[in-house]
Amino acid sequence: MSTAERLVESTRELLWERGYAATSPKAIQQRAGAGQGSMYHHFTGKHDLALAALTRTAEEMRAKAEAQFSAPGGAAERIDAYLRRERDVLKGCPVGGLTQDADLMADPALRAPVQETLAWLRGRLAEVLEQGRASGELAAALDPQATAATIVAVLQGGYVLARAADSAAPFDQAITGVLGLLAAHTTTADA
């Protein structure tokens, strides 16, 4: 891994663990095993490096989600796979958790990857739900936009509940609950 890659990966980890304000250039350099000169050779500073790290985290999150959203199967099955995929629940969402970082959210450039990724997630979920409505799998009365927003809110809230309880159980319960609500809007083939 190149020095620039180590710096970006170290920044990604530190942002997830500590947030923007608590991530110092020195901590990034130490974790990456890189000197100050190397950091400033590749990046103009902490802000530039954080933006590269946030962009990569957002791209990775989208790619992982898209793997489930574009997989074969019905809409409910694909959403179930997305919500139940393996996650480090107690660490929180690497993108959504950053919304609690006041310094990051106050910076339009740093906020953009977070904002865009959560908007993409709501939009992509709405598309999958609309596909389910169009195929007859989901009830015509289901509102894809509102349901997608609910799913994202439950997912992000599940992380918060799990972290507060220091247990994945509240997250699992929230996911089971939202999937139960979605199941109530599925149609049956023999109905």
- Annotate the chain with DSSP letters as a single string: --HHHHHHHHHHHHHHHH-STT--HHHHHHHHT--HHHHHHH-SSHHHHHHHHHHHHHHHHHHHHHHHHTSSS-HHHHHHHHHHS---GGG--TTGGGGG-HHHHHSHHHHHHHHHHHHHHHHHHHHHHHHHHHHTSB-TT--HHHHHHHHHHHHHHHHHHHHHHTSSHHHHHHHHHHHHHHHTTB--TT-
98 within some domain: yes
In a domain, 66, yes or no: yes
pLDDT value for 191: 40
Q: Does residue 12 lie within any of the structural domains? A: no
Classify residue 6: in a domain, yes or no. no
Domain-embedded: residue 97:
yes
Q: What string of pLDDT tens digits covers the 191 residues of the chain? A: 799 999 999 999 999 888 898 899 999 999 999 988 888 888 988 999 999 999 999 999 999 999 999 999 999 999 999 999 999 999 999 999 899 999 999 999 999 999 999 999 999 999 999 999 999 999 999 999 999 999 999 999 999 999 999 999 999 999 999 999 999 999 965 44
Please give the residue range of the domain that contains residue 129.
56-183
Domain CATH number, residue 160: 1.10.357.10
User: Is 15 within the bounds of a domain?
Assistant: no
Residue 17 lies in a domain: no
Total structural domains within the chain: 1
Question: Is 85 a member of any domain?
Answer: yes
Per residue in 63-119, pLDDT (tens digit) is: 999 999 999 999 999 999 999 999 999 999 999 989 999 999 999 999 999 999 999
